[in-house]
Structures are given as C-alpha cells and as structure tokens.
C-alpha cells in the first residue's frame, strides 16, 4: 500500500496537470503516482487499489497518458496482465517538437483568412499567435539541443543519473 506522502504527491501532480494542461485529475494523479511508486511497474489492479479508484478510471487515465507518451504498458512472457510504468523516453518535453507549433501557425493563419477584411484590431490576436508559433518553431530545436547538452553535462558530473532505457 502506498505511503500517505506518495498519495499527497500524486494529488499535487493531479491538480497541477488539471490546472495547467486540462488533464482529468485521475490522469494527473496516476502520473504523479507512477513517478514515485515502488515497484515502478504496477498492474491496473495495483494502481486501482493504491489510488482508491475504479479499474475503469485507471484504464482511462493510462490510455490518456499513453497518448502523451508519458506511460506505457508492458507484459512479460507468460503473464496475463499488463504492467503500467512511466515511459522512459516520454519524459522529454513534448513542446520541443517544432512541428506542433508549425501546425498551430497554419491553424491560426486559417483564422486570419476568415478575417481578411476585418479591422487590424480584430486580426491582431491571431497575428500575434501566428508570430509566436513561428518563433517557437524556429527556436525550439536549438533549445532542445541545448537541453541535451546540459543534461549530458549534468550526467557526466554525477549530478544527474543516466536513466535512458
């Protein structure tokens, strides 16, 4: 059974992800719990018991976390149930992906096309959103490379453990 501190942490993560990313609270709680649970791989039943939630709530939260590459299911040979854990490669910030921001820019340009004859003040919010999306798409690849260099420096100095799969 999890410690109270683990559940409190899971609740804090759940509230943070709900507030900032619109996650359902259970998905955020599950993410928080997966960050601190022992063992690191848990069955749906174990997660359900630990988080005092229904199996269907846990299954839905796992599916959502899988879509964001934050969790994964694995099954060992001979086992009849999946084990859920953090996705070791999914910890990298998804917003480093410049294509997401290029898609945003294209979407916002579509809105600008609808406002082609509108006053500049009416177009201004979308124009700024296009500019921001293009700025991020241009700058994020360099920032991702800087992060990887910095992470390797931390690992080399022993300040950060090697956790790649």
User: Which pLDDT score, from 0 to 100, does residue 64 have?
Assistant: 96
User: Which pLDDT score, from 0 to 100, does residue 40 have?
Assistant: 92
Whether the pLDDT of residue 165 is over 90: the answer is: no
For the segment 63-105, what is each residue's pLDDT rounded down to a tens digit? Answer: 999 998 899 999 888 888 999 999 877 766 666 788 889 999 9
User: Which pLDDT score, from 0 to 100, does residue 131 have?
Assistant: 96
Q: Where do the H-state alpha helices sit in the chain?
A: 4-21, 25-36, 44-51, 55-67, 98-114, 120-157
Q: What is the pTM for the complete model shown?
A: 0.78
Angle between helices 4-21 and 44-51 (to 10 degrees): 100
Name 81's Cβ contacts closer than 8 Å, sequence gap at least 6. 43, 44, 45, 75
**CA end-to-end span of the chain, whole Å?**
27
User: Which pLDDT score, from 0 to 100, does residue 107 have?
Assistant: 94
Q: How far apart are CA 28 and CA 34, in angstroms?
A: 10
> What's the pLDDT band for 55 if we cut at 50, 70, 90?
very high
Q: How far apart are CA 85 and CA 97, in angstroms?
A: 23
Identify any residues that bridge with 86 across adjacent strands, giving them in sequence order. Answer: 71
With beta carbons less than 8 A apart as the criterion, state whether 16 and 29 touch: no
> What's the pLDDT band for 29 if we cut at 50, 70, 90?
very high
For the segment 111-157, what is each residue's pLDDT rounded down to a tens digit? Answer: 999 999 999 999 999 999 999 999 999 999 999 899 889 989 999 99
Q: How far apart are CA 98 and CA 140, in angstroms?
A: 6
């Amino acid at each position: 059974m999890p410690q109270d501190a683990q559940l409190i942490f899971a609740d804090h993560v759940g509230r943070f992800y709900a507030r900032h990313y619109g996650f359902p609270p259970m998905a955020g709680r599950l993410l928080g719990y997966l960050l601190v649970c022992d063992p690191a791989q848990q069955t749906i039943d174990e997660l359900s018991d630990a988080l005092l939630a229904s199996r269907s709530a846990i299954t839905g939260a796992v599916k959502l976390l899988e879509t964001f590459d934050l969790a994964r299911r694995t099954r060992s040979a001979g086992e009849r149930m999946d084990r859920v854990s953090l996705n070791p490669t999914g910890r990298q910030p998804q917003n480093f992906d410049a294509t997401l921001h290029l898609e945003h820019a294209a979407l916002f340009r579509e809105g600008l096309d609808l406002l082609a004859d509108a006053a500049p003040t009416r177009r201004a919010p979308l124009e700024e959103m296009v500019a921001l999306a293009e700025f991020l798409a241009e700058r994020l690849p360099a920032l991702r490379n800087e992060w990887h260099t910095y992470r390797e420096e931390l690992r080399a100095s022993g300040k950060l453990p090697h956790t790649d799969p």
